[in-house]
Chain A
């Protein structure tokens, strides 16, 4: 499996888990999408830093080759999966009464 495959799988699994596994979905809440709207430009900015300066480099064989702000488009799927999963866990523990406030 290459980066594209795993990124798509991570995206799909995180979305499925949020919608069907967790009892309360993040994807249906304004708080999530507002957060993502703030995070996305910062992701593009930091990704641009890491990739345009060749701090992180990708094998051409591992990516589709479409780039946004110098970073592989796969990074957007990866970032979305990471952020959604962590926020989902944060919400999960809150719902179970762990350090709610």
Chain B
């Protein structure tokens, strides 16, 4: 079925983006259904994600420059940010950490006793 959809070359450009949308949906429902309140705590989420993601993006830029890994131009939108890193890769380092925080908060919403030890208390 996917092969049929991909006959359209323009659809194929969304291949990497599809993974990001999948991750966003796969974790985002926790915010709505379990009311994890992660998005409401935007400042805390941003200050948790940004410092780490910047380090990983430096690594990404280095790896791209050295040719450790590279991307199929036919399967990304072709929008590039600084250091020749594709837009999808920048979004990856926002979407994936956010999904991780949503998972952690989702777990502790369902199992409140696992909050024990949180904040060292």
Chain A interface residues toward B at CB < 8 A: 2-3, 6, 10, 23-24, 28-32, 34-35, 38-39, 42, 46, 49-50, 53-59, 62, 82-83, 85-87, 89-95, 98-101
Q: Which of B56-107 contact A (CB under 8 A)?
A: 56, 59, 62-63, 66-72, 75-76, 93, 96-97, 99-101, 103-104, 107
What 4 A-B pairs come out closest when comparing CB atoms? Answer: A62-B68, A89-B48, A99-B41, A24-B120
Contact B71 A94 (CB under 8 A): no
Contact A56 B71 (CB under 8 A): yes
Contact B69 A86 (CB under 8 A): no
Chain B: interface size category: 35 or more
Minimum C-beta distance from A17 to chain B (A): 11
For B27, the closest partner residue in chain A by CB is A42
Chain B interface residues toward A at CB < 8 A: 15-16, 18-19, 22-23, 26, 37, 40-41, 43-45, 47-49, 51-53, 56, 59, 62-63, 66-72, 75-76, 93, 96-97, 99-101, 103-104, 107-108, 111, 114-115, 117-120
Residues of A within 8 A of B114 (CB): 29-31, 34
Q: Is the interface of A mostly helix, strand, loop or mixed?
A: helix
Q: Is the interface of B mostly helix, strand, loop or mixed?
A: helix
State in angstroms the CA–CA spacing of A31 and B114 once bound together: 6
Contact B44 A99 (CB under 8 A): yes
Given contacts A89-B49, A90-B45, 19 further A-B contacts (CB under 8 A): A6-B63, A10-B59, A24-B118, A29-B114, A31-B111, A31-B115, A31-B118, A39-B103, A46-B19, A46-B23, A55-B15, A55-B71, A57-B69, A62-B69, A82-B93, A83-B96, A93-B47, A98-B44, A99-B44
